[in-house]
Homo-oligomer: A and B are copies of this chain.
Amino acid sequence: MNEEWTPPTVLLTVDLVVLTVRDDRLQVLLIERGEDPYLGTSALPGGFVNEYEGLDEAAVRELAEEAGLDGRRLHLEQLRTYATPGRDPRARVATVAYLAIAPDLPVPVAGTDARAAAWVPAGDPATPLPELAFDHGQILADAIERARGKLEYTTLAAAFCADEFTMGELRRVYEVVWGVALDGRNFHRKMLGAKGFLVPTGGRRMPEVGRPAVLYRRGPAGELYPPLLRSGGYPT
């Protein structure tokens, strides 16, 4: 290696896959691009990482700027990094993708950065997504797969719910994200049996119709133990 050789520089961005369960569907937050490559195309929210700024920090900032969401109150985790040469026609850009999980928010999202942001159903094979800019389609697919997997053995499902939630709301998260039907009675016992997950708040919530449901809050556990497995993990 030559002493005078200098390594190539790249631009660094973060892109956010923000998922929620809304209207009994898994939905992702997309923006419409207002700038040149892929102008007018749907894309994941995101942007350049500033100097003196960490990745998580940049993700939280973009979440606020582009989606009007408080990233500190959301589940936010790094997904993976995409840097295939040519993925951005302008320059070499590496993007660190983040997975964010949000409850169904009362305000549909009003970005302070003012580009149209909207929830779009995703992950349903019957409703294909619009083409996304760059390699965002791949990123989204990876994110949904990660979220589906993590429901099995972590308490991630609660991140889709508000601070207080009912067992039925939690179950609907699993059903919608996995696209399966679960037995509410067994689900109930199973979740109460998971150590450190659900803490009753003492409150109850009246559904539109039916018996009032006990409210729970997330306990300290991050792992769901025992896990709730999607049956038949091996393609038959």
B227 touches A229 (CB 8 A): yes
Q: Does A83 contact B (CB under 8 A)?
A: yes
A81 touches B78 (CB 8 A): yes
- Taking CB as reference atom, which chain B residue is nearest A83? B55
Q: Does A89 contact B (CB under 8 A)?
A: no
Segment at the B interface, from A44-52, A124-132, A156-164, A169-177: A44-52
A87 to B226 CA separation, bound complex (whole angstroms): 38
Contacts of A10 in B (CB 8 A): 9-12, 49
B225 touches A83 (CB 8 A): no
A196 touches B234 (CB 8 A): yes
B225 touches A234 (CB 8 A): yes
Contacts of A106 in B (CB 8 A): none
Interface size of A in residues (CB-CB distance below 8 Å): 38
Contacts of A49 in B (CB 8 A): 7-8, 10, 83
Q: Does A32 contact B (CB under 8 A)?
A: no
A48 touches B233 (CB 8 A): no
Q: Does A188 contact B (CB under 8 A)?
A: no
Contacts of A80 in B (CB 8 A): 78, 80-81
B233 touches A223 (CB 8 A): yes
B234 touches A85 (CB 8 A): no
Q: How far is the CB of A83 from chain B (nearest CB, A)?
A: 5
Q: Given contacts A229-B227, A234-B223, is CB(A53)–CB(B85) below 8 Å?
A: yes
Contacts of A116 in B (CB 8 A): none
A9 touches B7 (CB 8 A): no
Tell me the residues in window 30-87 of chain A with beta carbons closer than 8 Å to chain B beta carbons: 48-55, 78, 80-81, 83-85
Known: A8-B50, A10-B49. 7 other contacts (CB 8 A): A7-B11, A7-B13, A10-B11, A10-B12, A55-B84, A195-B234, A225-B234
